Amino acid sequence: MYRSHNCGELRLENVHEQITLSGWVQKVRNKGGMIWVDLRDRYGITQLALEDEVSSREAMETAKKLGREYVITATGEVIERLSKTNKIETGAIEIKIDTITVLNEALTPPFTIEDETDGGEELRMKYRYLDIRRSPVRRNLELRNKVSIETRKYLDQQDFLEVETPYLIKSTPEGARDFVVPSRMNQGEFYALPQSPQTFKQLLMVGGIDKYYQIVKCFRDEDLRADRQPEFTQIDCEMSFVSQEDVMQTFEGLATHLFKSVLGVELSAFPRMTYAEAMRLYGSDKPDIRFGMEFVELNNVAQNKGFKVFDDVELVLGINVEDAATYTRKSLDKITDFVRRPQVGANGVVYVKCNEDGTFKSSVDKFFDQEGLKAWADKANAKPGDLLLVLAGDTNKVRSQMNELRLHMGNELGLRNPKVFKPLWVVDFPLLEWDEESERFHAMHHPFTSPKEEDFQLMDSAPGEVRANAYDLCMNGVELGGGSIRIFDKQLQKRMFDLLGFTENEAKEQFGFLMNAFEFGAPPHGGLAFGFDRFCAMLGGQDSIRDFIAFPKNNSGRDVMINSPAPIDNDQLNELNIKLKA
Amino acid sequence: MYRSHNCGELRLENVHEQITLSGWVQKVRNKGGMIWVDLRDRYGITQLALEDEVSSREAMETAKKLGREYVITATGEVIERLSKTNKIETGAIEIKIDTITVLNEALTPPFTIEDETDGGEELRMKYRYLDIRRSPVRRNLELRNKVSIETRKYLDQQDFLEVETPYLIKSTPEGARDFVVPSRMNQGEFYALPQSPQTFKQLLMVGGIDKYYQIVKCFRDEDLRADRQPEFTQIDCEMSFVSQEDVMQTFEGLATHLFKSVLGVELSAFPRMTYAEAMRLYGSDKPDIRFGMEFVELNNVAQNKGFKVFDDVELVLGINVEDAATYTRKSLDKITDFVRRPQVGANGVVYVKCNEDGTFKSSVDKFFDQEGLKAWADKANAKPGDLLLVLAGDTNKVRSQMNELRLHMGNELGLRNPKVFKPLWVVDFPLLEWDEESERFHAMHHPFTSPKEEDFQLMDSAPGEVRANAYDLCMNGVELGGGSIRIFDKQLQKRMFDLLGFTENEAKEQFGFLMNAFEFGAPPHGGLAFGFDRFCAMLGGQDSIRDFIAFPKNNSGRDVMINSPAPIDNDQLNELNIKLKA
């Protein structure tokens, strides 16, 4: 028997029991006649104690030779500890050791297996199995497990059925790039890995499943930006006979349940904002509303005063940074440096300090007198002591730049506390977005999203203005997930494919099965998907999803631990009837 | 609002309530002034009633035009039904309809959406979304959902962590054929889809996760025999610091919990049998022990009596079929036909009828007198009225043939009741099996399975005789799953790769990451995987796994509904740097 208990469960009430523990050697302290060993497993750390005369010579000898991360089994008696500690849960006891057996030796690990490690990202990924021994990583995986359990508990109680959809499906050019899988049995043909189970969950609705969910892997062959993974996990859901309101209520419920059951946090309110308003006030479709600093449009107070930089632009946009009028030259220069970064892309920033004495000091004093600047301050509700930051340019560009600046200022001023959670529904997304490159409309969400009935009339005249029954749940500036009410009428779906530039044949070839299904009694339906990795990172209070994934890939899509992808045999290529291009 | 209730929940206590239902039209009965509509959704069927003078003219007109599988919303009052029925759960009430709205029309479905359908397999697969509307298929998916919930409940209570392992991994030539995924970002290189998370779960054990599980899709590019799927689901588990006994106890517990919670069936006992015994008594490593008919070796009573067919063979093998002495010539001929099928491959069968009067009648009376036949009967414990069936040949071949014959007779005699569940652990599998074609040993389980310590000494002298710490759980002649205690010592793992004919370089290239991991303190560990599709089919009392999979593929690995796999664009091929061979 390798163990009678684990390393996290022994307490004072176990004193005098004869027990066996197994685990990894965390630390050995050898004080001559006394040796202490910290033994670690997933559940905790227990101190083993050995002493000359008391312990057997054999056990003493073994203990002396133990190295870090050796795997051992030890037997002995639970005794009360003289110097108790609260740092570990077993801190009231230790084990008076009779025997120690080394089950496996260990080389010195390439980084320390402790909460704060000396290992860099690269090294920790290569030896991910050692990284996982560290409590912070293990706790993330435990949290992820808990989130999946609570997700299923909630959805099961709401009569959702988890249904597994296939992984070997068909490639569709719409959307992101597919990973494909050559078929050996059907040569020259390929499966694709799903970017999401979208069409299958809609078919399940046609099939009368009524409420579907799945915690499911999805795949996108995209150039990986920081913190994107080629394979990622979704909580994917779909419901029949529902309105947008029904779906939103259901998943507010899920989010509330997860925060409550996993963190003990009560999410108080889920305010809603239209996409148009979010763009106008925050320049983002996923505003962080933990802090204010809403955008203020200054055109009518800032234009036509002779300052050309403002006069020729679509939009002059300000934010009011409270209590920041005391910013030094150096601090203001840093803000200018920030907005000039290529990722932000502004030429510069105009500031107005609202001094405590009621005067104003700005970088454009040449063009605007005190009265003029007061008009800005009034418009922005700036108080004495506040700082106005102003950008100008094309509407979309300047909003996007100001969004970056706002979040940056939020970070600088400590307004983005990761322990504060502010959910927000963003609704009424546009149905379509114009793609300059291909000179056609793309579906903003996906081609199955339904337009708002009141905007049907715009579909011919102004398709770019049609709003969709689409909604995103965001939190703290991050998109947790989104969804839409789907088209369930075959004619409307055809019209949509048409708007997206599909020929009838293309539509039929790629989505014929769905169009067919719509002939046989499709119910109204809609759904939503949460990004599971992202949701876990949010609950864990961290920005990166990578440490909530057991075996993540790096930014080149490589698993550096197993060294994958890798070349394959010629025999394999031949069997698949493919070859590499020269 | 599409509904206030679903179609399965209204009862007498709801009478007088004003309600709204949505669903599919199952049936319309138009009796002139009265129309009844059976409205169906996932939860049940409710009868809608319309009547001239009582219902609005508009509702009557709409009802008259309804076709099968139309999707409608109907509003009305719950009333007590005059002629109640027990056939449906809502049989005590019906709905006096005020309004009906058609949400979607439907073409006549290509097969009837009823428990017994007129649709053939092919058609039902092509229109799987319609097939899923049928209760038997939907119930299978509901059962599957329940099994996954109960699996997680049990394993969670036992401190198992569900950890997601990656789907884009690395190809290894050992085992079955991999599906591969060309990498665009790492041209000329490929990912592989996992045949199982085997190495990853072992790395999780090295990582101290201690108890891991996952309900996970696995992929094998095999030529598909009946009832094999290229993608299938496993309940995959691994535990650290365990003996074979610990693992078996844990998963007996899981199986017991699943049968109890899903079916209300108490599995009484999990007997155990060695592989050697299973082969000797049943000619199978997954014996169906719902009935007896164990093999009886008759060599010493049947050989050297001048019957050449018996004299020259390794094994003369009989089974005793109780109360079958009255079989007619025709029935016996049918048995001969059965064993002569190419799938069985015997030349013929010898029978001995043990007549009620104590005499014997056999097909080999020429060679064996009454005394001789009595010796057979005694050896087989045959009573008057029983029938002995005897095959002879090479040991392995004749055991395999007799296994087929025994199962056939079990079916014929109704001894294989799908409502009776008899689990059996088969243990002590051989570590290796000799492959005639490649003239080398293959791992019977996989290369990470540990040999029994008491057989270490045979590893050099007689590797084919080494037994493994491997175990299968079978039931009713079907393998539900299996596992093993793994090698956790680097040297032993090297020795194993050596026995399997890997060069040191090959072993390093393919499994270097695991060998490396074993350098850093690997704990003793072992695990098991259940075939999830198979487990569900067993609980559902059915042979085929296909109807427990929402969207299965056919025997050519095709999804005939979405028509996949399919050709992909040249652009896609170019981006992946591959081309089709001519």
Query: What pLDDT, in 10s, does the model give residues B229-257?
Result: 999 999 999 999 999 999 999 999 999 99
What is the structure's pLDDT at B389?
98
Interface contact B171-A513, CB threshold 8 A: no
Write the pLDDT tens digit of every residue in B488-497: 999 999 999 9
Is B129 close to A520, i.e. CB distance below 8 A?
Answer: yes
Hey, how many other C-beta atoms are within 10 angstroms of the C-beta on B437? Answer: 5
Residues of chain B contacting A166 with CB distance shorter than 8 Å: 231, 551, 553, 559
B190, B237, B250: best to mutate for the A interface, most A CBs within 10 A: B190
Chain B residues within 8 A of A521 when measuring between CB atoms: 24, 69-71, 104-106
Q: Helix A329-340 vs helix A395-412: angle between axes, to the nearest 10 degrees?
A: 130
Beta carbons of B189 and A566 less than 8 Å apart:
yes
Query: Residue B180 and residue A179: Cβ atoms within 8 Å?
Result: no
Question: B112, B151, B168, B210: best mutation site toward chain A, by most A Cβ within 10 Å?
Answer: B168
Å between A185 CA and nearest CA of chain B: 7
Which pLDDT value is given to residue A227? Answer: 77
Find the closest chain A residue to B514 by CA distance: A562
Partner residue opposite B550 with nearest CB, options A145, A163, A551: A163
Determine which of A551, A569, A579 to mutate to test the interface with B (most B C-beta atoms within 10 Å): A551
Tell me which residue in A3, A161, A551 faces B165 most closely, judged by beta carbons: A551
Cα–Cα dist A165/B559, whole Å: 12
- With the C-alpha atoms ordered B493, B495, B500, B506, is the resulting torsion angle positive or negative? positive
Parallel, antiparallel, or unpaired: how do β-strands A440-443 and A525-531 relate?
unpaired
For tokens 């009478």, the residue is B15
CB within 8 Å: A70 and B522: no
CA distance A460 to chain B (A): 24
| Domains of chain A in sequence order | 12-104 (2.40.50.140), 139-272+424-548 (3.30.930.10), 291-416 (3.30.1360.30)
pLDDT at A465: 95
Among candidate residues B203, B174, B244, the one with its CA nearest the CA of residue B518: B203
Residue among B96, B85, B8, B110 at smallest CA distance from B54: B96
Confidence label for B525 from pLDDT (cuts 50, 70 and 90) = very high
| Separation of alpha carbons B372 and B383, rounded Å | 15
Give B511→chain A minimum CA distance, Å: 8
Interface test with chain B among A68, A129, A232, by most B beta carbons within 10 Å: A129
A511 contacts on B by Cβ (under 8 Å): none
Query: If you average pLDDT over residues B314-325, what whole number do you get?
Result: 96
Our CA-based measurement puts residue A429 at a distance from the nearest CA of chain B, in whole angstroms, of 23
Instruction: Inspect the interface and report whether the beta carbons of A231 and B168 lie closer than 8 Å.
Output: yes
Please tell me the number of Cα atoms within 13 Å of A109 on its side-chain side. 32
Q: Are A375 and A345 in contact (CB under 8 A)?
A: no
Mark yes or no for CB contact A565/B138 under 8 Å: no
**Closest Cβ–Cβ partner in A129, A142, A164 for B550:** A164
Longest CA pairwise span in chain A (Å): 94
Q: Given the DSSP bridges, would you call strands A470-475 and A440-443 parallel, antiparallel or unpaired?
A: unpaired
CA A463 centroid distance within chain:
32
Minimal-distance CA residue of chain B relative to A522: B104
Q: How far apart are CA B81 and CA A490, in angstroms?
A: 38
Residue A210 is nearest to which of B42, B178, B181, comparing CB atoms? B42
Tally of residues, chain B: 582
A chain contacts of residue B163, beta-carbon cutoff 8 Å: 141, 144-145, 550
Q: Does A182 contact B182 at a Cβ distance shorter than 8 Å?
A: yes
What is the pLDDT, as a whole number, of residue B440? 87
Rg, C-alpha atoms of chain B: 30
Spatial distance between the Cα atoms of B279 and A314, rounded to a whole number of angstroms: 84
Chain B residues inside the 8 Å CB shell of A163 = 141, 144-145, 550
Is it true that the peptide bond before B565 is cis, omega within 30 degrees of 0?
yes
Give B572's Cβ-side CA count (13 Å radius): 24
Q: Tokens standing for B139?
A: 């119930």
Closest-CA distance, A384 to chain B, in angstroms, reads 52
Classify burial at B269, counting beta carbons within 10 Å of its beta carbon; exposed 0-12, middle 13-18, buried 19 or more: exposed
Q: Which residues of A touch B141 (CB under 8 A)?
A: 161, 163, 209
Amino acid at A207: G
Chain B residues touching residue A191 (CB < 8 angstroms): 179, 564-565
Tokens standing for residue A520: 């046989």
Q: Which two tokens stand for residue B503?
A: 């060069």
Give the span between the Cα atoms of B570 and B580, in whole angstroms. 10
Smallest Cβ distance to B71: which of A169, A179, A523? A523
Q: Quick count: other Cβ atoms within 10 Å of Cβ A155?
A: 24
pLDDT surpassing 90 at residue B518: yes
- Residues in chain B with CB shorter than 8 Å from the CB of A162 are 145, 148-149
Task: Give B497's DSSP letter.
Answer: H
Selection from A260, A270, A241, A268 nearest residue A159 by Cα: A241
AA identity, residue B431? L
Contact at CB, A209 and B1, closer than 8 angstroms: no
User: Taking CB atoms and an 8 Å limit, are A521 and B489 in contact across chains?
Assistant: no
Nearest Cα neighbor of A90 from A145, A21, A34, A156 is A21
Q: What is the pLDDT of residue A314?
A: 96
Of A145, A165, A219, which has the smallest distance from its Cβ to B551's Cβ? Answer: A165
Q: Which residues of B53-69 are buried (b: 16+ CB within 10 A; e: fewer)?
A: eebeeebbebbeebebb
Q: In Å, how far is A170's CA from the nearest CA of chain B?
A: 5
Residue B392's pLDDT is 97
Close Cβ partners of A264 (under 8 Å, ≥ 6 residues apart) = none
Residues of chain A neighbouring B551 (CB-CB closer than 8 A): 165-166, 200, 203
Residues A521, B564: C-beta atoms closer than 8 Å? no
| pLDDT at site B53 | 85
Chain A contacts of B177, Cβ < 8 Å?
A: 184, 575
CB B100 within 8 A of CB B80: no
Sort B303 into a burial class: Cβ within 10 Å, 0-12 / 13-18 / 19+.
middle
Query: At what angle are helices A135-157 and A244-258 packed, to 10 degrees?
Result: 140
CA dist., res. B243 & res. B249, Å (int)? 10
With beta carbons less than 8 A apart as the criterion, state whether A10 and A46 touch: yes
Beta-strand ranges (E) seen in B220-314 are 231-240, 272-274, 296-297
CA A430 from centroid of its chain's CA atoms: 23
Residues from chain A contacting residue B184 (CB–CB below 8 Å) = 177, 221
Is the Cβ pair B207, A43 closer than 8 Å? no
Q: For chain A, 582 residues long, give each residue's pLDDT as a single digit of tens.
A: 899 999 999 999 999 999 999 999 999 999 989 999 999 999 999 999 999 988 899 999 999 999 999 999 999 999 999 999 999 999 999 999 999 999 999 999 999 999 998 889 899 999 999 999 999 999 999 999 999 999 999 999 999 999 999 999 998 776 789 999 999 999 999 999 999 999 999 999 999 999 999 999 999 998 877 778 999 999 999 999 999 999 999 999 999 999 999 999 999 889 999 999 999 999 999 999 999 999 999 999 999 988 999 999 999 999 999 999 999 999 999 999 999 999 999 999 999 999 999 999 999 999 999 999 999 999 999 999 999 999 999 999 999 999 999 999 999 999 999 999 999 999 999 999 988 888 889 899 889 999 999 999 999 899 999 999 999 999 999 999 999 999 999 899 999 999 898 898 988 888 899 999 999 999 999 999 999 999 999 999 998 999 999 999 998 999 999 999 999 989 899 999 999 987
- On the 0-12 / 13-18 / 19+ scale of CB atoms within 10 A, A544 is middle
The predicted structure's pLDDT at residue B220: 95
Q: Which of A104, A107, A242 sits opposite B488 (nearest CB)?
A: A104
Distance of CA B182 to the CA centre of its chain: 31
Neighbours of B363 (CB within 10 A): 14
| Tokens standing for residue B526 | 């072992």
Please tell me the distance in Å from A420's CA to the nearest CA on chain B: 28
Token reading at B184: 């665009």
Degrees, nearest 5: CA angle A563-A564-A567: 105
Chain B residues in contact with A130 by the CB 8 A cut-off are: 206-207, 520
Interface contact A578-B574, CB threshold 8 A: no
Residues 6 or more apart whose Cβ sits within 8 Å of residue B253: B154, B158
When mean pLDDT is compared over B121-125, B176-180, B455-459, B536-540, the highest value belongs to: B536-540
CA distance B486 to chain A (A): 14
Query: Do A545 and A214 form a contact (C-beta atoms < 8 A)?
Result: no
CA atoms of B405 and B335, how far apart (whole Å): 8
The gap from C-alpha A167 to its chain's centroid, in whole angstroms, comes to: 23
pLDDT of residue A430: 96
Which DSSP helix (H) or strand (E) runs through B29? strand B18-31
C-alpha distance from A26 to closest chain B C-alpha (Å) = 12
Strands (E), A249-393: 272-274, 296-297, 315-321, 350-354, 360-362, 387-393
Q: In the A/B pair of chains, how many CB contacts fall below 8 A?
A: 346
| B134 chain-A contacts, CB cut-off 8 A | none
- Structure tokens of B39? 């409205």
